[in-house]
Amino acid sequence: MLLPQEIIRIKRNGDSLSSEQISSFVDGLVSNKFNDAQVGSMAMAIFQQGMNTEEIVALTTCMMNSGDVLSWPELDAPIVDKHSTGGVGDKVSFMLAAIVAACGAYVPMISGRGLGHTGGTADKLESIEGFNVQPSIAEFKRITKEVGVAIISQTENLAPADKRLYGIRDVTGTVESIPLITASILSKKLSAGLDVLVMDIKVGNGAMMHDIEQATALARSIVSVANSAGVKTQAIITDMNQVLGTTAGNALEIYETVKYLTGKQREPRLHLVVVTLAKAMLMNTGIASDDASAQILVDNALSSGKAAEKFEMMIAALGGPKDLIENPWNSMTKATMIQEVLAPAHGYITGMQTRDIGMTVVGMKGGRLANDDKIDHSVGFDRILPVGTVVNKGDVIARVHANSEDVIAYASQKYIKAVDISESAGEVFPVIYQTIN
């Protein structure tokens, strides 16, 4: 077996690593045979020199096999999931998982915590009293089978090699590497034993990928590696140049989900992302044969109330209340203060500094700055007006929810700064950019 420094030298010099050498690296990640300096050097070598598809497949597969890998021999319908690269106000997973389960697929979704300025699906679910995001694997499997959908957070023994590598990448300037991001995301997602995966690759000023070229390169890498690893995968590039939907903040996003599922409010951009991804999941699993029949299934799941019912059943099965849809605020905490944010001038909303809005939610304690920070689930923004809206001076462009005057003042001021209002209309970005098969 080659020494760690020899494996690092091969990649540093721009040569390809063999599957065996990649396997040694991943073993070294788990066993600590690669020390932190060596892992950091290896990450930097991969960052600088890149990897070919074969190498990324080997890295992904070895990292996936470093922990639990689920299988579902007992299930009689396709197993499908979606993963988003993350954004602000991105609550798509909730509606989507419920709709697709209502259409007959199984959706075992292992979700993440907030990362940087982006919100985390698992954190949002913890706004709901009693909800357990970390059940045992046996419980996760039972609920997926009985309800059709279970959304939980990452377990301790899921892709442990990624846990160590990600922590070291985070502090060595090696996060933004397409091979490393691909292996990191897919090692976790593929360990859920999926038949089909749909990736939502976000692009824009609130996303990890800021331009369409980067987003396309990541989408192509993920699609080709996941398909090579045997999971039918499609990627859809969607916009993150503004908050998605009308809310940003944990409990507020769950409330928006309830309003969406019951048809009380469906913000058009959010709805388009949900429906596009749902149709892709239904067609790729073979549940729908074409776009028109997928659309009918999605519409029925929503109008019949079946998607809302699936969501409520999942919440109850994982320890939450039985009546979240009827009485959402009986089991979530509301902030004690609400303040309207008023347009400072007449004009068009031409843009949002989306990352800044995400960081403001974190600054309000709606996310974490350190790993062990406690989240205030009640804080955030609602009634967010989208880019392109014409406003008069004094119109409400959003509302702040917080629990102290200081936080209200901080968040209102930040929000005003993060929204551009101009006399002439600006560019309105498309919601869906491209699909990569």
Is 178 among the residues that bind ligand URA (CB under 6 A)? no
The active-site residue out of 11, 24, 82, 355 is: 82
Is 258 among the residues that bind ligand URA (CB under 6 A)? no
188 has catalytic annotation? yes
Is 84 among the residues that bind ligand URA (CB under 6 A)? no
Give least dist CB 243 to ligand URA, A: 20
Is 111 among the residues that bind ligand URA (CB under 6 A)? no
Give least dist CB 35 to ligand URA, A: 21
417 has catalytic annotation? no
Closer to ligand URA by CB, 103 or 180: give it.
180
Is 287 among the residues that bind ligand URA (CB under 6 A)? no
Closest CA to 40 of 222, 175, 208, 218: 175
The active-site residue out of 81, 90, 123, 195 is: 81
Give least dist CB 40 to ligand URA, A: 15
CA distances from residue 76 to 73, 108, 223, 284 in whole angstroms, order as listed: 8, 14, 25, 16
Distance CA 164, CA 184 (A): 11
Give least dist CB 183 to ligand URA, A: 8
124 has catalytic annotation? no
Closer to ligand URA by CB, 47 or 131: give it.
47
Which residue among 185, 192, 298, 349 contacts ligand URA (CB under 6 A)? 185
* Cβ atoms < 10 Å from Cβ of 420: 14
15 has catalytic annotation? no
Closer to ligand URA by CB, 166 or 348: give it.
166
Q: Which stretch binds ligand URA (CB under 6 A): 51-59, 176-184, 196-204, 396-404?
A: 176-184
For the annotated catalytic residues, the residue numbers are 81-84, 121, 169, 184, 188-189
